[in-house]
Structure 1
């Protein structure tokens, strides 16, 4: 079953399951699914890969009797069968020996030439196939004619009977192979059927249904302050792209890759903004155009403690394995052909076979250098002469130097990009922002950028916001290694309310707006935290009021704030007395959050910067909980996106910059006259 058929069946099944929804516009929903097709199919990429592997296994077992002896069958079809008619005809017709030799040697010469051509590429295999078909047909006709002449039968009657017998035998053989397959074929077919069902289910449940739910939800709002939802199974799908919402940064990055013929692009943004999720979605094809072929993507993580040569070795090995995995998905027979030069009857693109062989050589050359040795000997005496020659090879562990390794890697990547065109080769280096933007990050980039700028290859690298700042300074004449390494820098921002709403609507059906806003406020615009907050909400019983759900989340967060701060104080290396602050954290109470925040701020007035920062972080996070409790009450009849965006922004700062966080919370509360504002934030 093809990808198109699986997708269409999933769309039809999803539309049939949603017929009772109002409003229901079948054509609009089908169009939305078609537009989101790359994202949909990316959800089930692993299941698709598994199905392709199982189908390749089925075909392999069906032709195993020929695959086990490829040289024999090549000689049989290309040389023996085309040559045999000339030999048989010469013997039966009793032609002159010169004519007999001419016919036989000519047929043998053409057969050997065709055998040589069969190993020279796709066109040579097509010539060999045609020659073997002609030779097989000629053999049947010659044998039929010869038997007819020897038996004294009417020549054409026997030929007809012989031809029908041959066709019947072939049909019977196919029927027997289909009806009575071997045990290995049966097991392979059963495994392929299971893989197909899993693929279809993944496309439907992880791809099409979330897209259609989001499309329906985008045109309606669900008011209410009681927890109601129809289905929240999508929140339990760990590890899938259902936790990633397509964002403008991803679309811009995809547009750059689509328009440019290679390049180096940085993905910048604060920690937690979703850079890794975006790159993972890009790897799985979520940002492709509809019906665009999959990219070959190599994804590695930048090491915190790195050695340039070891990192390039790791990148080289990952690239080789990615090529093998990609070719196995797109051209399942190529890897088998790469290992068996004589499987000429099983078609696979020469480019794919070349890529597989290059990847296998690359994996071997990473660890070893092949050395060849030869030895000749001779002996002469009265009884005759003896001459011998011995040839062998061994694998020596002489490691390549770093420049040699870089050159080998660039050659391999360039060859893969050319061989797989129009499919694109993308190399992703994630989590480089863990190194930061200081001297260590600059040194790392300076040493590995030797592998950049390969024609036809795209490098996508996640960097910190400080690196983006250095890149932008090049516009005023302050050049840096970041500016010289990247063609473009794309910024990833936190989710806003609209994007968060779209993400939750893919995972939860018919979720009220007030609860979406509550999950978003607690997440601070971080996609992973948004899913966690939504899971915490749906764990409550349906029908629970908004204020009660908010109180549960507040209590859980309050407990984490106090415990983590107390643990950090206990582990802090300080000579100052923090007993008072620890006593406040231990004797906590959630009833008066603002009073508790004041107690935290007053519990320590020392000069230790680390302790003061812990104190202020705890105070800001507690103040955030107080504002959330004031805002998310059972009287909340309308969610204003700008207000919720402001609250989520304050949440982010409360966890990283407490002074700014408290100031933002003060502004938010001041805009709500009925809600008391917190006191001036500490300076």
Structure 2
């Protein structure tokens, strides 16, 4: 991808300032700027010069810069239109002299015979004259003239496409760069607010899905950006807990958001493996995804994918059918209404109908409507009322017909533009498109080829002799090595053919961490890693934390599939408090620090959960404004969802000794949704009544429920209307760690939570003293499990 040219840089600064001038006048931004006592012009100037904003804006305008450079390069290749020393030979002079002769003959024919020639004949003569003049000019003029005309056509097409591309880039610049960056910049201009009242001034961004919007720059994002811009082949594992953002990073890489300036874009292929696939079937599925990605990249319009083009063709077919049906209905309506009008005329003027009388009636009505209506009779009124629906129906018919003709002409002009444009794909790209279609058919269908010959000989005696021979070939399914080999060949061929358009291919294989059995995940990677290692092809695979641990143990005798399959591993960690604050600042203005802390603790810093908590905050801010009210409302919603999920999980569990899952379900039904300062007493009754390690599924579920209830009570005890923000940052970070541990290791989460409560003296508050006994019991179990 080319760097931003001087003209594109000028456009960029101009568009940035124009868009920012409009944004600062939006009510949500204008109110915040006024509250901060800033001048809008100063805001525009400083945001436009911010390095982070400029980097994102330049990335958004890189494609426009490439088009501008292509236009400039094409302009420098302008050929000579008319050679100065050109002298036509005898044949060329005859061709050029024939042109005015043809024109004179045509003009004379129109003048002499135009009065009685049909219009169709005149149009045919005009088309013939244009074609003849074009052929004569082609034969008589030098080749340089036609080369210059072709250059001028292509240059005009490029120049016409540049404003359209600039308009598209402006929308991307506004929505994906300037709006979130302006929100974050305004949030940085104010001191952190520790208000305990929630007053969101621009909260529409909170409804945005977590994977959309500005990307928070984390260590994992930077590591992935480095991998995308390397030249050697690689397979990179994205390891982390579920919801940490592995899918978002992989999708952004496949969407060419990590490619450096100066490099061509990458071709992204998105696929997933959420369940255990047969390796051969998955590689065939991956082959299909690659073929479709290539077809989308080679889409003829350059703007629509192959699927969109198929949909457009079907849509045009159905629209034509609908338009024909509408025209037929209008014609039928006109006929019916015309019959009614003739019936009214017959009743008014008698039978049989007189066409001359009706024609004179219509002429009088059209020539002098005022005089006609002044002298109209009652019999004429019936005819006028009968003709009125006919006129309306005829007008509808003309409008529909003109609309259809206009659409047809517009479509024809677009097709002619595409045919004449220099953007038509070359024969190499056309062959690659045909190969992709062919391989898609080979993957989907078992093919059978039949060939043969037959002959027949008849003799005079009436005896016939015939011979037939045929050969049928049925294509066998590809074996696993053939599947791998063909996919690698297609990767290499696609990269070679598209070498001037892409810098490589990025393939994302998502959801491998969702394969439940680690052994199956190991086997799956062992079976598909044969496709890794293609030059200029990067594979991004989302894996579990166990894969990261195994990879980091490389170099010791214990090697596994993760160590041998990946060239590197990226650890995708949950957000820190600062990163959660940045994520929220991209989406809303006016979130005070206590509410940022609340969102971070409830989500544990996981981007997916942070998006859900932010959406809940957006829904609650209409009815709840105080910190305590928002906290209890958020906990009530979360408790309602979690207790139902715990109860559904407990139902199928078997009874273990004296422990009955129905007892746990009964306790869950007694969880108070509106009062959260006495949940620890219920947690004491739910915690498994055993001194042995948590070795049964029911005991582990009880521990999860008890830990979750104490966590909710801790949230309610910290985030109240008398919150003192001094020294709470470390506490918020620790509580978010507890939330992260709850999804992975319940005893560890319990231990950290109890230490946290003891450090903040929460055990001295009402309703929490029972947690001390839980701490002792949990500590004893942890001690027993560690000694075992």
Same fold (TM over 0.5): yes
Contact 1:358–1:412 (CA<8 Å) still a contact in 2?
no
Computing the radius of gyration over CA atoms, which structure comes out larger, 1 or 2?
2
CA displacement at 1:502 relative to structure 2: 0.9
CA displacement at 1:586 relative to structure 2: 2.0
1:494 and 1:275 map into 2 onto residues whose CA distance is 10
2:582 and 2:746 map into 1 onto residues whose CA distance is 30
1:211 correspondence with 2:297: no
SS in 2 for 1:571: coil
Q: What does residue 478 of structure 2 align with?
A: 400
1:151 and 1:541 map into 2 onto residues whose CA distance is 78
2:688 and 2:481 map into 1 onto residues whose CA distance is 60
Contact 1:470–1:483 (CA<8 Å) still a contact in 2?
yes
Q: What does residue 516 of structure 1 align with?
A: 596
2:483 and 2:516 map into 1 onto residues whose CA distance is 26
Q: What does residue 249 of structure 1 align with?
A: 220
CA displacement at 1:313 relative to structure 2: 0.9
User: Which segment drifts farther, 413-422 or 616-625?
Assistant: 413-422
- Please report the TM-score for the alignment, with normalisation by the length of structure 1: 0.70
SS in 2 for 1:498: helix
- Please report the TM-score for the alignment, with normalisation by the length of structure 2: 0.62
Structure 2 unaligned blocks of 5 or more: 1-6, 68-77, 105-132, 139-148, 150-159, 310-414, 461-469, 782-788
SS in 2 for 1:300: strand
CA displacement at 1:352 relative to structure 2: 3.9
CA displacement at 1:458 relative to structure 2: 1.0
CA displacement at 1:672 relative to structure 2: 2.0
CA displacement at 1:629 relative to structure 2: 1.2
1:270 correspondence with 2:241: yes
1:234 correspondence with 2:315: no
Contact 1:417–1:424 (CA<8 Å) still a contact in 2?
yes
Q: Tell me how many residue pairs correspond in the alignment.
A: 555
2:102 and 2:521 map into 1 onto residues whose CA distance is 87
1:364 correspondence with 2:445: no
SS in 2 for 1:242: coil
Q: What does residue 696 of structure 2 align with?
A: 609
Residue by residue, what CA displacement relative to the aligned partner does 1:399-451 show, whole Å, maximum 9, x if unpaired? Answer: 22222222111111011122223422111111111225732122211211111
- Alignment of structure 1 residues 37-76 onto 2, 5 Å: 37=57
- Alignment of structure 1 residues 171-570 onto 2, 5 Å: 201=171, 203-220=173-190, 221-238=192-209, 240-242=211-213, 245-289=216-260, 293-328=264-299, 331=302, 346-348=422-424, 350=426, 352-366=429-443, 367-369=445-447, 371=449, 373=451, 375=453, 398-421=476-499, 422-435=502-515, 438-541=518-621, 544-570=625-651
CA displacement at 1:522 relative to structure 2: 0.4
Contact 2:300–2:425 (CA<8 Å) still a contact in 1?
no
Please tell me the root mean square deviation across aligned C-alpha atoms, in Å.
Answer: 4.6
Mark the CA change 1:240 to 1:482 in structure 2 (over 3 Å): closer, same or farther. Answer: closer
SS in 2 for 1:507: coil
SS in 2 for 1:429: strand
Mark the CA change 1:18 to 1:290 in structure 2 (over 3 Å): closer, same or farther. Answer: farther
Structure 1 unaligned blocks of 5 or more: 53-125, 153-161, 168-173, 175-188, 383-391
Match of 1:36 among 44, 52, 56: 56
Q: What does residue 646 of structure 1 align with?
A: 734
- Alignment of structure 1 residues 94-133 onto 2, 5 Å: none
CA displacement at 1:570 relative to structure 2: 1.9
Contact 1:621–1:655 (CA<8 Å) still a contact in 2?
no
Contact 2:448–2:472 (CA<8 Å) still a contact in 1?
yes
CA displacement at 1:504 relative to structure 2: 1.0
CA displacement at 1:369 relative to structure 2: 4.7
User: Which segment drifts farther, 346-355 or 585-594?
Assistant: 346-355
1:451 and 1:637 map into 2 onto residues whose CA distance is 57
1:511 and 1:452 map into 2 onto residues whose CA distance is 46
2:19 and 2:448 map into 1 onto residues whose CA distance is 55
Residue by residue, what CA displacement relative to the aligned partner does 1:637-676 show, whole Å, maximum 9, x if unpaired? Answer: 4374332121111112234422211221122223324664
Mark the CA change 1:143 to 1:463 in structure 2 (over 3 Å): closer, same or farther. Answer: same
CA displacement at 1:566 relative to structure 2: 2.4
1:566 and 1:510 map into 2 onto residues whose CA distance is 38
Mark the CA change 1:441 to 1:333 in structure 2 (over 3 Å): closer, same or farther. Answer: closer
1:406 and 1:321 map into 2 onto residues whose CA distance is 18
Q: What does residue 752 of structure 2 align with?
A: 664
